[in-house]
Amino acid sequence: MSDFGIGIDTGGTFTDGVIFDLDQKLVISKTKVMTERENLSLSIDRCLENLVIDIRKRGNYDEVIGNIRMVCLSTTLATNAIVEGQGADVGLILIGIDLDKKYPTGHCARINGKIDLRGKIREDLDLEGAKKAIKELKPKVEAFAVSGYMSIRNPVHELDVARLIKKMTGYPVVCGHELSSDLGVYERTVTAVLNARLIPLITSLIEAVRSSIRKASIVAPLMIVRGDGSLISESVAVEKPVETILSGPAASIIGGKVLSRIDNAVIVDMGGTTTDVAVMKAGEPRITEKGALVGGWLTMVKAADISTVGIGGDSHIRVSKERTLEIGPQRVYPLAWLCDVHPHLLDELKEIHENRYFPVNSQPTTILSLIRIPEKIKLNETETSVIRQIENNSPHTIY
């Protein structure tokens, strides 16, 4: 009797699922469903339901379900969120680091405190300054990142600020020293911010997969593909979601090897949001020495050496104010598909076209749909008004 594994890949556009015979190295069932980004549980449920229906039809349900040894998840959601500038709003508190560089968040504060190369405290931590910064940032963010100079030698200042954040806000908080012990305070800070930004997204995905596994009566550990192609537990992925960037492309490299039976190749993986290019040599992905580069941000995440650009099958194509063509990095729903699902949009677009009352700096096909309301962000009057108009209603054009 064979052992089996379930593989799930959640991308920005589609969620794919397979049941794999681990002994015979054969795919015995596969499916593809739309990724419902506003309701990931629905996508995972449909994916597993389709797989279960298929093996029931084949008459080997009991044999397969009773011998599932692992559920393996890969995803491009983390990569897509970084490329598109999405995810949770993060408050960054820098300890003894000047605000003279660009970071993946606009919510930054600097406080005094300094650790030297030997890990000794050279300047005491400004706790009052930290309290003030946390209080000012709290209404604007959903998570925090803390980074201090030489925290890899002595993390005491980062830990003190993290405890203060937890006490004052209860929000998720990520410290730079937790993610890397290498020198490079800027890259370590960027990695901490991105990790904090991804926590709600990856947590939601893993909870959705775990819930769907229970519904399908599957008893097996859930493992997540890292950016270098190795596997981590779900608990590690929730704590360090930044480790899942380039997870999808890394899985594609392994899949490309299995399907092609070629050990040396250039692999191109185009999804709905991004296109990823990687080199496989001697059957293994080449690992980047510096860290993964995603969306223009150099991180300290060990990953396959993959070039990622924000161009995919669903990239937003638009005309700029200067009448030049712009593509990506954001993805949008294909207009033909959206109008098929929501027929009233076709009437709205016809009206816009006939009246031609849209400004040159906007697109007549710009359509708003409410995905979620940030729980911890204080909205202004305009944002609240827009949400009220589209909440519990179909998507509409902005005109």
Instruction: Write down the pLDDT at residue 339.
Output: 87
For the chain, the distance separating the N- and C-terminal CA atoms, rounded to the nearest angstrom, is 61
**What is the spatial distance between Cα 39 and Cα 50, in angstroms, rounded to a whole number?**
17
pTM above 0.75, yes or no: yes
Longest dimension (CA), the chain: 70
Q: Judge whether 9 and 74 are in contact, CB under 8 Å.
A: yes
Instruction: Write down the pLDDT at residue 357.
Output: 58
Q: Judge whether 339 and 333 are in contact, CB under 8 Å.
A: no
User: What Cα–Cα distance (Å) separates residue 116 from each residue in 19, 160, 314?
Assistant: 53, 17, 48
Q: Tens place of pLDDT for every residue, the chain, 399 residues? A: 789 999 999 988 889 999 999 998 889 999 999 988 778 889 999 999 999 999 999 888 888 999 999 999 999 888 888 888 888 999 999 999 988 999 999 999 999 999 998 999 999 999 999 999 999 999 999 999 999 999 999 999 999 999 999 999 999 999 999 988 888 999 999 999 999 999 988 998 999 999 999 998 899 999 999 988 899 999 999 999 999 988 888 888 888 888 888 999 999 988 888 888 988 888 888 888 788 888 888 899 888 888 878 888 889 888 877 888 888 888 888 888 888 888 888 888 888 777 765 555 566 677 777 766 666 667 788 877 777 776 666 687 766
Instruction: Write down the pLDDT at residue 153.
Output: 94
Q: Judge whether 55 and 62 are in contact, CB under 8 Å.
A: no
**What is the spatial distance between Cα 304 and Cα 311, in angstroms, rounded to a whole number?**
19
Tell me, rounded to whole angstroms, the distance of Cα 312 from its chain centroid. Answer: 16
User: What Cα–Cα distance (Å) separates residue 187 from each residue in 92, 142, 146, 299, 366?
Assistant: 14, 22, 13, 5, 36
Inter-residue long-range contacts of 234-239, CB under 8 Å, 24+ positions, other chains counted: 234/206, 234/210, 237/202, 237/206, 238/199, 238/202, 238/203, 238/206
Instruction: Write down the pLDDT at residue 256.
Output: 86
Task: Find, among 187, 188, 286, 192, the residue nearest to 239 by Cα.
Answer: 192
Instruction: Write down the pLDDT at residue 376.
Output: 63
